Homo-oligomer: A and B are copies of this chain.
Amino acid sequence: MPSYTAPIKDMQFVLHDLLNVAADSTPGYSDLDAEFTGAVLEEAGKVASEVLSPLNVVGDTEGCVLENGVVRTPTGFKEAFEEIKQGGWPGIDLPEEFGGQNMPYIMYTAVGETASAANQAFTMYQGLTHGAASAILVHGSDDQKATYLPKMTSCEWTGTMNLTEPHCGTDLGLMRTKAEPQGDGSYKLTGQKIFISSGEHDMADNIIHLVLAKIPGGPEGIKGVSLFIVPKFMVNDDGSLGARNGVSCGAIEEKMGIHGNSTCVMNYEEATGYLLGEEHKGMRAMFTMMNEARIGVGMQGLAQAEVAYQNALIYAKDRLQGRAVTGDENPDGPADPLIVHPDIRRSLMDQKSFVEGGRAFLFWGSKLIDQSHRGGDEAAEGLVSLLTPVIKGFLTDQGYDMTVLAQQIYGGHGYIEEWGMSQFTRDARIAMIYEGANGVQALDLVGRKLAADGGKPIMAFFDMIKSFIKENEGNEALKADFLDPLKEASKHLQASGMYFMQNGMKNPNAALSGSYDFMHLFGHVCLGLMWAQMAKAAMTALEGGASDTSFYKTKIATGRYYMARRLPATAMHLARIETGAETVMALEADQF
C-alpha cells in the first residue's frame, strides 16, 4: 500500500527561506514564524499520514453507494471526518466569529496539500464546504452568515457548488434550472444539476447546496443567472433542522477516479432556495471565489504529483533490477536498485523539480491571495488573477504527467491496482477538467487576463523577473545556471505576448490557437523564476552557515536540473505559438 509523508521541510523552506512570510506586513503573517507553521504542518502531516492516507485505497476500492436516496461513503470515512472536524482543520482560515482559526490562506493551502495528497477524494468533502462557506461569507446577508457559517466552518454541515447541467458545462448561459420567486423572499428551484461533488453523503447532518439558476423574466444567457442557497434540510429559526427540502440525489457517477467522493446527479423539484447576493449576479458571485477555487485545484494536481513521486522514489531505491552502466553499486546484492539508472533518474528529477518548483509557485499564489484579501493590495490582486489560470492549468497538467511518470517507474506493478500508483493517476486526471477545463483556463489567460487592467499585471510580472535578474547579475553562482536560462525563457514569454498583440486583433484565432502553449510557457517561466529565487535562498542559507548543508545543496542541484532540462520547453511553445492559426484552423469541420 502506498504511503505519504508531508514534505514539511520543503514547505518550511518555501514559507520561510523563499517567501519569508513572518516578515511580511500582510495581516496575520506576523504570526507565521517557523515554529508556528512547523507545528501546524507537523500536526496536519500526522493526520494526513495516519488518518487520511490509509483510507485512500479503501475509498478507491469501495467507492460510494447510493441506496434509497442515501449515499454511503466508504468504510472509515465517517470516523476520519469526525477526527478532521475535531481537529478544527476545515475552518483553519475562516473567521474566528464563526468558529474558524483565521489563519492566512497560505496556511490553508499548505495544510490542504497534505490532506489532498493523502486522500484527494476524502478531502473534497471539506474543500467543497470551504468553497460554499467562502461564497456565503462574501455575498451572504448577516442572517445567512449566522445561519450557515458556524456549522459549515466546523463541517457539521457540508456544502456543494451546483453549476453544470447535462447540456452545459463551460457555457453556463445555456442553463435551464429555474428559480420561481415565492413572494416571501424565497424561491422554488426546479432542474437537474450533474457532476456535483459531495452532493449527497452520510457524513454531515445537513448539506448546503449553492445552486445557479435562472429567475424567469431575467436577462437571456449568462447575465440572467442567480445564485441560491438550497439546504438539504430546512433550517428552523432556532437553528434546528426542519423538513427535508425538495432536493435529492438521482444517481452517482461511475468515474475514472476519486471514487471516494460522491459525484451526484442532483434533482431539484420545487426545492426552497434563498438568493445569495443579487438577482442575476450569480456568475459574479461565483467568480469571487474562482481564484481561490482554481488555486485549490492546482494544489490538487501538485499534491497527487508529490505523493506519486514519494512512492516512486521508495520503489526506485528498493527494487533491484539490472546493473549500473558505470559499475555495480550493490555488488553484494543480486542487482542494483532502479535509482542507479540514468533514465530512472531523469524521471525522478522531472518529478522532484516539478513538485518543489510547483509548490513554490502555489504558495506564492496563495500569498498573493492573502496580500489581496487581507492586505487590500490591488497589485497583488491583479497579479494573482493573471497567475490563477496558470496555477490551475499548468500544475494540473504537469501534475498529471508526473503521476504517469511515477507509475511508469513501477513497470507492470504500476498498472495493477495493488500498489496504488494507478489511483494517483486516475485521481489526478480530474483536476485537469473540473473548475474550468484547462483549455478554458488557457482561454481565460489569453483572452481576458493578459490584457486586463491595461496589461499592468503582466508588466508587473516581467518587472519582477527583470528586477531579480538585475539585482543578482553579479552573482556568478546564479548567473549561468539560473539567471541566463530564466532570461531566455522570459524572452520567449514576452515574444509570445507580442505575437498575440500584433496578430490577435486582426485575427483572434491567431492568439487563441496558441493559448494552450502560452499557458504552459508561462508555467515554465514561473517555475523557472521560483527555482532561481529558491537557489538564491539556498545559497544565502549556506553562506549564513546553515547546518543542514545537504538539504540546501540538494535544492540548488534540483533547481539546476529544472533550468537545464525542463525550461527548454519554452522555445518549443513559442515556436508553436508563432505559427498562429493557419494550420490549426485550415480544415473545414467536414474535412476532419
Q: Which residues of A contact B (CB under 8 A)?
A: 164, 167-171, 173-174, 194-195, 253-257, 263, 313, 317, 320-322, 325-326, 334-335, 337, 339-349, 352, 400, 404, 407-408, 411-412, 414-418, 422, 425-426, 429-430, 432-434, 437-439, 442-443, 447, 507-509, 512-513, 515-516, 550, 553-554, 557-558, 560-561, 564-565, 568-569, 571-572, 575-576, 579, 581-587, 589, 591-592
Contacts and interface: CB of A to CB of B under 8 A. Distances in A.
Contacts of A418: 253-254
Contacts of A515: 342-343
B584 A560 contact: no
Contacts of A352: 592
A338 to B, nearest CB: 9
A321 B170 contact: yes
Number of copies: 2
29 contacts: A164-B412, A169-B321, A169-B412, A170-B321, A171-B322, A195-B412, A253-B418, A255-B417, A313-B592, A317-B589, A317-B592, A325-B509, A325-B512, A326-B509, A337-B589, A342-B509, A342-B513, A342-B515, A342-B585, A343-B439, A343-B512, A408-B433, A415-B433, A422-B429, A425-B429, A550-B591, A553-B591, A564-B583, A565-B579
Contacts of A434: 412
Contact of A321 (B168, B325, B426): B168
Contact of A569 (B168, B174, B340, B572): B572
A342 B408 contact: no
B411 A437 contact: yes
Given A418-B254, A561-B584, A171 B408 contact: no
B254 A170 contact: no
A558 B583 CA distance: 8
Nearest to A414: B433
Contacts of A416: 195, 253-256, 263
Nearest to A335: B171
Contacts of A447: 325
A177 to B, nearest CB: 15
B415 A584 contact: no
A343 B516 contact: yes
Contacts of A173: 335
Given A322-B170, A325-B512, A430-B415, A349 B583 contact: yes
B572 A568 contact: yes
Nearest to A447: B325
Contacts of A263: 416
B254 A325 contact: no
Contact of A587 (B509, B512, B554, B591): B554
B584 A576 contact: no
A263 B413 CA distance: 12
Nearest to A446: B343
- The residue in A317, A343, A345, A400 that gathers the most chain B C-beta atoms within 10 A of its C-beta is A343
A576 B563 CA distance: 10
A518 to B, nearest CB: 11
B433 A412 contact: yes
A579 B485 CA distance: 13
A240 B345 CA distance: 53
A488 to B, nearest CB: 11
Contacts of A432: 408
A322 B313 CA distance: 44
